[in-house]
Structure 1
Amino acid sequence: MSLDLRLVLPALAVWLTAGLLIGAPTVAGAVAVTLWIVAGGCIGVLMISRMARRIEWPTAPRSRRWQTACASVLLCCAGAALVATAVAAWAPVRLPPEVRDAAGSHAPVTATLTIWSVPVAAKAFIGSGTSGRVRYKATLTQIDSRGTTAHVSSPVVVFGEAARGGTEPEIGSILQVRGTLRMTEPGDAAVALLFATETAYGVAAPPWWLQWANELRAKFATAATSLAGDGGDLLPGLAIGDTSAVSPTLDAAMKTSSLSHLTAVSGANCAIVIASIMLLGGYLRLRRSWRIVLSLLTLLGFTILVTPEPSVLRSAVMATVTLASIGAGRPGRGVPTLLFVVIGLLVSDPWLARNYGFALSVLATAGLLVIAGPLCRVLSQWMPSALAALIAIPLAAQLACQPVLILLSPSLPLYGVPANILAGPAAPVATVIGLIACLALPVLPGVASGLLALAWIPSAWIAAVAQAVSTLPGNRLPWPGGAWGVLLLGVGTVLTLVVVLRGPGARPARWPVAVLAVLVVGLGGYAGSLIGTGIGRAVSFPANWQFPANWQIAACDIGQGDAVVVRDGDAYGLIDVGPDPQLLSTCLATLGITRINLLVLTHYDLDHIGGVDAVIGRVDTALVGVPENAQDESLHARLTAGGATVRQAARGDSGTLGGLHWNILWPIRGATTMQVGNPGSITITFDGRGIRSIFLGDLGQEAQDALRRVSPPGRVDVVKVAHHGSADQSPELYAELRARVGLISVGVKNTYGHPTNKLLTILASVGTLSACTDQEGMSVVAPGADGALVLWTEKVAARGPPGSPTETPAALRMS
């Protein structure tokens, strides 16, 4: 059966236009006008071509070629013009001047919100930590800032304290929250992040058509999570899309084993529900029209229950179109229906263009429609058809989605397909039985309990597969990241499919084989050199080269400046904030941090305080030095206005951060020398959970020697090297510290020559391994087994003084 691909180019044009314009909405109007003009020109060409054929111009036979080309351009331009018009119309509504001004001023606001997602723990994007708060999506409907009230309609993400007693805001409820707004990147689905500083209170309850779903969702989640182990925690996600009970460890295991699409409700769940209703209707001998109506009503209720996330929305709309075409007696074909739905959804909401969930849902569906059938036919030549289908379905979805997944994690899952073969058949069983149990809870709680126990079995099986696969050695292979990685993988996948799926009687395709061989050799050599070099350098690696979930120290890559995070569980400390709020915000978002329990500003140089806007309104306690001028005092006032307790720190001050003990070694309170600028940098130590660390700010050699005399620091495991690795260092201090890791926060191609050869030689002479953010990106330290340390960096780079051998890859365990 041939594929109908006529809408491929228009769909790509719409998607590309939406993806570009939501990042630059100010030009959307001009682009829309231009595209409408081009579309009008195409219509004119088509009309002239048609007239030419009617009056039999000499060129009329050739006009068919132009007619086809113009029709294709017309569809592309019309679709792109529609989405450009939508961006131009909606962008000012989403981000009005009142919201932009409130975010820019960093002043506290009172916001009225309508909630439209289930509150979940604010988990880290890397690792398995949580922020101790909840996050939820909402629409900002009213904002009160500096005495001015404005009515708006802006999508935001709210970070707030978890409600006492476990009662979180419900979908559809209206709340008022006191907090601070911070802009997101252009093109993000939410225009701003709202960090709540005061407990929200309710203004209005959800409407009845949402309240029933809220109550049903809450009852089911409570009943399911009372079941034992990971199976009970995973079941609400499989059945109704509630992932709030999924632990960070299980979530990481699901992602590592390529089973994360099963963690929450996706488009496949909608298909399962529709298929179940249609089969039930056939068993009850209902007329086709009644089965379609019943399926549509069930789909509507299911979408409300599980919330219309992008993948669910795509599947629901596609199912609606398919059912409508069946009802009209003209069943549609899968690929055109998918492309039509993609165009419609992107025109109605262009901000879906950069949504990973939406992209993966579309690609997975396309893979199943286009690739799964031919793969199954090829595989069935060597195995039973049922087994071939079982392998072809997850393999097709994996192949289609992997180019996008590379953007999220530059690695290839080695066991992804086997894991899906093992876990995939259990997902529909858990979904159907779990959903029936959910619906039965209010009326037949006893029956529902039995059904929950049955649904727990496939849910626990999926969790067990994920946990087992995630622990297998080498389950992810390295691959180039970014656009080049996507391009290479996409080309390699297409060429492989061209070779594999050619019919047995087809002529050999030499050019795909040749290009594929070049790709395999080239990329294989790249990956092999990376792996081989890493193994040759390493003592041992953290599991799967993954970011260590139990990390304690993270040096952000924020250019020429300092911003280092110290963590214990959900408690976070931040030493300095770097030169740029945007760079710091990116680092904190990567680490999943929304609240800073302890902020230390070592001194008032711009490369240490310039990024403070990123944390205003998010700090509990701030330790600062003696203010040198009115600007420094103003900084203190801004922190205080944002809800922070500001204290001047000096030698002898101490406290705790979670289970870590901190102590201030420098400066000396009341002293008259070396108390300002670099020599007055606050020097702090942290001790606990297997790591003792010291942070030296920008102390020079004279101040470092004075520190040794009045506050001998003793041995440490980690040192934040002073002054970005300048030459003004005390060899005696570093010899006393004898740290195993030296973190150097430094900018690429800085004009100071940091880190200097002198400093790198000092570190190497005392056995301290240097990790520089300019070469290795974010550098993270975690406690290992038997007193070892684990060092993880974003990039592989040589460490140590010039001429020394390269020591480690991106992950290393040190004794």
Structure 2
Amino acid sequence: MTRLDLRAPLLAAVAWAAAVCGLASTPGLGLLAFPVGFWVWRRRALGRTWVTPACWLVCACAVFTSAAVQRAGVEESAIGRLAALNASVRVVAVLDTAPQRVKSRFGGRVFFNATVVEVTAHDHRLRLRAPIQVFAPAASVPRGAKVRLSGPLRPSFDPERAAVLTARGPPEVVAGPGLVTRASNRLRSSIRQAVSRAGPEPSALVPALVDGDDTAMPARTVADFQTAGLTHLLAVSGTNLTLMVGGLLSLARLAGVRARGLVAVGAVGVIGFVLLSGPEPSVLRAAAMGTIALVGLGTVGERRGLTWLSVGAFLLLLIDPWLARSVGFALSVLATAGILLLAPGWRRRLSTWLPGWAAEAIAVPLAAQLACTPLVAAISGQVSLVAVAANLAAGPFVGPTTVLGLAGGLVGLLSGSLGRLVATPATWGASAIIAVAHRSADLPVPAVEWGAGPFALLVLTGFCLGIATGLGRLLARPTTAGVLAGLMTVAVLVGLPTPGWPPRDWVLVACSVGQGDGLVLATGPHAAVVVDTGPDPRLMDRCLRRLGVRNVPVIVLTHFHADHVDGLSGVLRKRSVGEIVTTSLADPPGGSRLVHELADGAGVPVRVAVAGEQTEVGAVRWQVLAPTRTDYPDSESPPNDASVVLLVETRGIRILMTGDQERPSQTELRRLYPDLQADVLKVAHHGSSKQDEDLVTSLGARLAVISVGLNNDYGHPAPVTLRLLRQAGMQVRRTDLDGDVAVVVDGNGALSTVVRGVRE
């Protein structure tokens, strides 16, 4: 076996660390470090041993300098200074991305990235180049167009963008896109037209496979792709390029093209992919990683692929140091490294008893998935058990769907009807891929929850390294490989044992349902009241199945936001449900409509909660404290302030469940119930900063439970809220870090929590 050369990978690691440090530093330090590194390299005559470390130091200084200079260029630009003053400006900018619709309380709006080329503020005009983010009224503007905008600037949370502009009016087009961008936009539009007559899911997936645009994908489908380990198909990634260029190379070989001709075809394919998807950093990253992976699967790439990957990563970090903070870049590097290091050996082992095509189909996704597992767990809090099988099942459809979708778009430029004819098989393939994602996500245990803490990730990384070391020998034996596949199948279909879960004497469980609320109150054997159902039916259904709940006398929906009601079908699935109780404010209308449609379909009555009413179900008794009104003049979110609030009594303790109440409604709750006391507080609105401090501190609660999603976009729970809860003497449990959280009251009335079956 050839000895593994780690010099290049260490170069990439050093460059990555230098980029991270440079983005947190000032350019002066980088400019000072570079000549020092160059001097050390020039002094390599001190000894041959020092040559490689000296080269690493020079490269690190170069990346550090590039990162620090680019960071300073963004932060200290004229746009950045104007944003710090919240100045009102007029700008001329070029759209870097096509406008995407965003949800807003102020009507239809769009979001896009742009590069400012001219800014006017206080009657002073300045020409420059600065990247910004723009929120504007809905408008149809092509990518690459030059537009005029006006509005206030504010600092951006994205360190790569100098400011955020909130435009007062829709973009005014000054000039259309350039020739190349115009041609790319036409092809992208032609691809969408060619598949437009298919269903909403296939017609959205084909463009996602071809050019990485997944904006039209339904949220539920995206979630299923994530659970099934197929998310890489929906974004601009090396997978897209590998499939597209691989398809072109296959056609070229059939046409008799060989040697340098294939190289030329591959180069044209890479350039075409970049132009089609847009020359953005993510696209360039995908082009680099996909090209390396494509070459690395050959015999030459097996010997030198890791070196090319490392040098490619170094060059990308030198050009665009912001990639050092990109999760997508890290996943691309890890997946490519896994394919280069592990897939060839596993493929050879499997080929001793499987056909070559089957061995490669198993080895490549298995290697990529194993390499990415620790990082995926850190991001999502779960480890997929079906990713390899899902990729294996979807794999035969992905390549043809991608190539035929592109071909349909190209033919559609000449004839729309012929383009649709060519692209029709692509929609069939897309439907098959979507079916794989849905079926995989519907399995009893498609993924296992995993902690995102340092120790949990360290254990998982060690476990993955152990598998990487020993799996090759096991795959060479068909009997052992069959046993492993059988055990994995049992784990997916039956589930892994969870000793101690559900715990004895549990009274409340906050289910880990992502960014949303899904709470369960025990009322008797196999029976419970459900308060909110989270955003995902599958997650809610799995939580109830883990708890053994088959009978739900009452479902309380505190308000109609999607993160509280979209999982309702998961509770209704194969369970006896008595009634659904809701808030009196039917806002947003879509959520209210969904609840009534599902309830009508299941034959379950729906009624509105009335403040002051008391209900008793089994061992649980509660009083509705709110809403007493729905008109809060100072409310930023009327549906949140109109949440149903319950004071629950069970097994001698009191639980205050506050829905998504914000400060106005919490203040009124404190005024109406000045002596309100509770042992457990379900913290309002996922721990947002909008808490009434006097209410929280006056409750006398011993335990605070926060239902919140891992790495959510809202910054929940807010640090100020966590400090408030601890200052009030509460123990804090949160579903993003702890998974399912159970509140337990033992026979002596002692209150405790159990997290994943481990008593805390």
Which TM-score applies when normalising by structure 1? 0.64
Find 1:805's aligned residue among 747, 751, 754.
751
Quote the Cα distance in structure 2 between the aligned partners of 1:342 and 1:34. Answer: 21
Task: Give CA-to-partner distance per residue, 1:456-481, whole Å, 9 cap, x none.
Answer: 11111111111222232332322221
Task: Give CA-to-partner distance per residue, 1:554-594, whole Å, 9 cap, x none.
Answer: 9xxxxxxxxxxx9866999xxxxxxxxxxxxxxxxxxxxxx
Task: For CA contacts below 8 A with separation 6 or more, give which structure has more relative contact order.
Answer: 1
Quote the Cα distance in structure 1 between the aligned partners of 2:301 and 2:639. Answer: 69
Alignment match, 1:87 = 67
Alignment match, 1:16 = 17
* 1:77 equivalent in alignment to 2:57: yes
Quote the Cα distance in structure 2 between the aligned partners of 1:571 and 1:504. Answer: 43
The CA deviation at 1:360 is 1.2
Find 2:450's aligned residue among 463, 466, 479.
479
Structure with greater Cα Rg = 1
Answer whether contact 1:311 1:361 (CA < 8 A) is retained: no
- What is the identity, as a one-letter code, of the residue corresponding to 1:43? R
Quote the Cα distance in structure 2 between the aligned partners of 1:401 and 1:85. Answer: 29
Describe the SS at the equivalent of 2:413: coil
Task: Give CA-to-partner distance per residue, 1:217-259, whole Å, 9 cap, x none.
Answer: 1222233233124112211111222222211121121112211
Quote the Cα distance in structure 2 between the aligned partners of 1:689 and 1:720. Answer: 7
Find 1:532's aligned residue among 501, 508, 516.
501
Answer whether contact 2:292 2:305 (CA < 8 A) is retained: no
Alignment match, 1:178 = 150
Task: Give CA-to-partner distance per residue, 1:486-506, whole Å, 9 cap, x none.
Answer: 43322221133223346999x
Alignment match, 1:258 = 229
Q: How does 1:641-652 map to 2 (within 5 A)?
A: none
Answer whether contact 2:378 2:451 (CA < 8 A) is retained: no
Describe the SS at the equivalent of 2:133: strand
Answer whether contact 2:707 2:734 (CA < 8 A) is retained: no
Answer whether contact 2:22 2:66 (CA < 8 A) is retained: no
The CA deviation at 1:692 is 4.2
Describe the SS at the equivalent of 1:251: helix
Quote the Cα distance in structure 1 between the aligned partners of 2:705 and 2:468. Answer: 42
Q: 1:396 to 1:549 in 2, by over 3 A?
A: farther
- What is the identity, as a one-letter code, of the residue corresponding to 1:19? V
The CA deviation at 1:364 is 1.0
- What is the identity, as a one-letter code, of the residue corresponding to 1:178? S
Quote the Cα distance in structure 2 between the aligned partners of 1:79 and 1:687. Answer: 55
Describe the SS at the equivalent of 1:532: coil
- What is the identity, as a one-letter code, of the residue corresponding to 1:120? Q
- What is the identity, as a one-letter code, of the residue corresponding to 2:402? T
Alignment match, 1:585 = none
The CA deviation at 1:200 is 1.1
Q: How does 1:788-803 map to 2 (within 5 A)?
A: 793-796=735-738
Task: Give CA-to-partner distance per residue, 1:23-58, whole Å, 9 cap, x none.
Answer: x241x43144225414422431x3244xxxxxxxxx
- What is the identity, as a one-letter code, of the residue corresponding to 1:8? P
- What is the identity, as a one-letter code, of the residue corresponding to 2:311? F
The CA deviation at 1:274 is 2.8
* 1:281 equivalent in alignment to 2:252: yes
Quote the Cα distance in structure 2 between the aligned partners of 1:450 and 1:746. Answer: 52
Find 2:701's aligned residue among 760, 765, 770.
760
Quote the Cα distance in structure 2 between the aligned partners of 1:117 and 1:145. Answer: 25
Alignment match, 1:368 = 339
Q: 1:155 to 1:758 in 2, by over 3 A?
A: closer
Alignment match, 1:462 = 433
The CA deviation at 1:352 is 1.2
Q: How does 1:132-531 map to 2 (within 5 A)?
A: 133-163=109-139, 168-185=140-157, 188-286=159-257, 288-310=259-281, 312-317=283-288, 333-380=304-351, 385-501=356-472
Quote the Cα distance in structure 2 between the aligned partners of 1:437 and 1:226. Answer: 13
Alignment match, 1:40 = 39
Alignment match, 2:522 = none
The CA deviation at 1:530 is 9.5
* Aligned residue pairs, count: 610
The CA deviation at 1:483 is 4.2
Which runs of 5 or more residues in structure 1 are unaligned? Answer: 50-66, 506-526, 555-565, 573-653, 666-680, 696-714, 762-768, 781-790
Quote the Cα distance in structure 2 between the aligned partners of 1:102 and 1:122. Answer: 25
Task: Give CA-to-partner distance per residue, 1:439-458, whole Å, 9 cap, x none.
Answer: 11011333321121100111
Q: 1:809 to 1:6 in 2, by over 3 A?
A: closer
Describe the SS at the equivalent of 2:166: strand
Quote the Cα distance in structure 1 between the aligned partners of 2:321 and 2:659. Answer: 50
Answer whether contact 2:506 2:742 (CA < 8 A) is retained: no
- What is the identity, as a one-letter code, of the residue corresponding to 1:179? G
- What is the identity, as a one-letter code, of the residue corresponding to 1:470? A
Q: 1:570 to 1:463 in 2, by over 3 A?
A: same
Quote the Cα distance in structure 2 between the aligned partners of 1:497 and 1:504. Answer: 11
Describe the SS at the equivalent of 1:438: helix
Task: Give CA-to-partner distance per residue, 1:391-431, whole Å, 9 cap, x none.
Answer: 22111111111222223212111222211111122111111
Answer whether contact 2:211 2:240 (CA < 8 A) is retained: no
Quote the Cα distance in structure 1 between the aligned partners of 2:94 and 2:681. Answer: 51
The CA deviation at 1:774 is 12
- What is the identity, as a one-letter code, of the residue corresponding to 1:546? G
Quote the Cα distance in structure 1 between the aligned partners of 2:118 and 2:636. Answer: 45
Task: Give CA-to-partner distance per residue, 1:720-775, whole Å, 9 cap, x none.
Answer: 6899899987657869x9x9966399899x9x9984575439xxxxxxx9646999
Q: 1:381 to 1:362 in 2, by over 3 A?
A: same
Q: 1:689 to 1:383 in 2, by over 3 A?
A: farther
C-alpha RMSD over aligned residues? 5.0
Answer whether contact 2:209 2:233 (CA < 8 A) is retained: yes
Quote the Cα distance in structure 2 between the aligned partners of 1:12 and 1:201. Answer: 45
The CA deviation at 1:792 is 8.5
Identity of aligned pairs, percent?
Answer: 25
Q: 1:721 to 1:799 in 2, by over 3 A?
A: farther
Q: 1:275 to 1:120 in 2, by over 3 A?
A: same
Q: 1:431 to 1:810 in 2, by over 3 A?
A: same
Q: 1:774 to 1:200 in 2, by over 3 A?
A: closer
Alignment match, 2:515 = 547
Q: How does 1:594-609 map to 2 (within 5 A)?
A: none
Answer whether contact 1:178 1:199 (CA < 8 A) is retained: no
- What is the identity, as a one-letter code, of the residue corresponding to 1:41? V
Answer whether contact 1:411 1:478 (CA < 8 A) is retained: yes
Quote the Cα distance in structure 1 between the aligned partners of 2:296 and 2:642. Answer: 64
Q: 1:197 to 1:424 in 2, by over 3 A?
A: farther
The CA deviation at 1:266 is 2.0
Task: Give CA-to-partner distance per residue, 1:793-813, whole Å, 9 cap, x none.
Answer: 4354676999653478699xx
Alignment match, 1:119 = 99
